Structure 1
């Protein structure tokens, strides 16, 4: 490549993570970390920066290792619990709630396609507190599955078998904060493989160029591989997860939906506080406080009921995945995708509605920049663009009317 490449700097400290033992502890720790992350969330959004000690506290809490199987030393929490953990953290700071989302998906790729030796090595890294970030998508293709990054077999300078990777990736969430990057690349047969490289590997460049209006501190920028060399041990045949029935797709969607319901709950919490403390009732309401305005009361009730419905569907989807986790068949994968689609519809739509209603119920004064309430809408608007919810309706209708199973990929 002709570019003069240099990775962005971020202080990466040696990890020392706590190991969470079970689901109950995971929920307890999630609430504790959420309280920590909520403090300063608005400031971080405004400055587009996250102090290293904040990210370290999050990953060292042990929450990033809770999906690792018990065989390899993890808590192996239920996926319903994982969704709840992500929602709890995302209600405090959805940008930081998103940065381990792909980390969890990468761990699932390892669980599905790794050898015992690979699982032992990479799961141990995660339990220590190493953070994995993704370099999967590309921004220049005709659709999200159009990948041009190549994986070319070659003998490495060390003499061991390995690969060379060349390509440019976008939407690489958490890349700035990562210890390792998981890169999706096509082998000589055009099959998708996942290759892991430590962040300081020669030929690997992290570009901190994420500048979208929401989810500002996810570090979802660019990663470039320029003659990057990785040993064969670090490569996983992830294409197999979609050639045969697995829950890789529904799992990814579940974790994504959990972020959106967290955003919705955060917006409602701020709506309630603002209405109680600063908003004014409408002149025709005949009441003294905005919190006594009957139409405001109605709208808050509507929001809470819809968020609760989204949370319930998310939990039900998680439990569906839990039932089918081991050796799912095609029908079970389809049922899991359908369950997650129902949840995703509700989490998407209520995230956008709740973040918009905050201003309607709070009034003009709620739009003052000092409150930074617009971050909720910006976060919801950007994150819900991950994949179009209109296609979830199509997925459900096509199954009900025509018995057509959802296609197997990361977005179903």
Structure 2
């Protein structure tokens, strides 16, 4: 018999978050947090460790609460601002940029399907600095929608049994959102305190990239959940909502940040350390005409990706007041376009870094390979080849995208 999985330990302290009040403050604090996270990012990747002080400083900054609706005390920043915040933080450390991504998605679930009482309770926790993580996906099924975890009604609430994978941020979370199917095979979302008996976080994430996202396993064995903590998340796809485009927007923003980080390090290394090729007959690599062309191409594609990301945020903002079949579809298409470019530029920039930086850029002391590893792993979230299909089918045949988490 294999040994039972050992629960992971992480120092979860009492949160004490600042409350951000508007978009401008959110962007200003995002840059401050990015400066903090940039220091030590390469070493955290190398060691696969994030000190609790770093995560606490991030969440206590108030950035994890910026989507809380104004009626509950939050800034309710625009979707375009949220995407920019995620990209700014992810350019400093994309693993830490990713850990609140599902936190934001869970808050969007609350906005869409939570009762006023649930919203008041959980949004207050978030503004105080509580961190939410996901236990949504499962490994081994035929597709990503093949969910085996079950929710069973009992006299005093509900019971959940199952096994979850890719549970980003679970090690650092105060609360975990667990997806399970009820007796009618409908998706329900349960909000569960991290220390609840029957819930075990296993720190077994071993991917080559995004190493410190804690995207490992969560085990659910006789996990008991009161009815108050349950959300009927299936309703978000029975009618047009922004649940899918929102999730995709936050994902694309992380890739945009990875691309920007790789490009910034490429420019700095070329200026300071790279050597020009002998046939260029120049004194510095930054004067090499073929290097200049490559940097120009990367800068143009990176800015195009960021512009499409911003435009996608605007599309969500436009649809938010009254989502319908047409404007939700338009938002999905806008996000798909952004996701294509953010994916491709992140991979391209992290690859070109070595070509333009030369052999010395590959030395372990720089750990520049983390950019490529992060880009290659995070862009596997869902296949970008299907984004081309989605956009083409919309342009050619006026076919609206299917409604699910990946559109």
Fold-level similarity (TM above 0.5): yes
> Per-residue CA shift, 1:283-321, capped at 9, x if unaligned?
000100001000001111110010000000000000010
> Would the aligned equivalents of 1:163 and 1:229 in 2 still touch at CA under 8 Å?
yes
Distance 1:2 1:328, change over 3 A: farther
Q: Distance in 1 between matches of 2:4 and 2:256?
A: 41
Counterpart CA distance in 1 for 2:20 and 2:288 is 45
Shift of 1:403: 1.6
Tell me if 1:212 matches 2:212: no
1:79 aligned residue: 79
**Could you tell me which residue of structure 1 aligns to residue 121 of structure 2?**
121
How far does the alpha carbon of each residue in 1:22-59 deviate from its partner, in whole angstroms, 9 at most, with x for none? 00000000000000000000000000000000000000
For 1:268 and 1:396, the matched residues in 2 are separated by 27
1:316 paired with 2:311, answer yes
Deviation by residue 1:360-394 (Cα, 9 ceiling, x = unmatched) = 00001100000000000000000000000000000
Residues 1:262 and 2:248 are matched in the alignment: no
- The reply on whether 1:240 has 2:240 as its aligned counterpart is no
- 2:290 aligns to what? 295
- 1:152 matched residue in structure 2: 152
Q: Partner of 1:159 in structure 2? A: none
| 4+ residue segments displaced more than 4 Å | none
Tell me, yes or no, if structure 1 residue 9 matches structure 2 residue 4.
no
Distance of 2:155 and 2:34 partners within structure 1: 46
Aligned to 1:32: 32
SS at the partner of 2:192?
Answer: strand
Query: What is the aligned partner in structure 1 of residue 93 from structure 2?
Result: 93
Question: Is it true that 1:401 corresponds to 2:390 in the alignment?
Answer: no
Partner secondary structure for residue 49 of structure 2 = coil
TM-score if structure 2 supplies the norm length?
Answer: 0.99
Distance 2:13 2:306 in 1: 35
Tell me the residue number matched to 1:336.
Answer: 331
Q: Give the match for residue 61 of structure 1.
A: 61
- Per the normalisation by structure 1, the TM-score is 0.98
Contact conserved, 1:246 with 1:327, CA < 8 A, in 2? no
Correspondent of 1:173 among 168, 176, 181: 168
Aligned to 1:223: 218
- Answer whether contact 1:291 1:297 (CA < 8 A) is retained: yes
Q: How far apart in 1 are the matches of 2:328 and 2:26?
A: 26
Output the CA distance in 2 between the equivalents of 1:147 and 1:283.
58
- State the Cα distance separating 1:2 from its structure 2 match: 8.8
Aligned residues: 407
Q: Which residue of 2 aligns with 1:136?
A: 136
- How far does residue 3 in structure 1 lie from its aligned partner after superposition? 6.3
- The CA deviation at 1:90 is 0.2
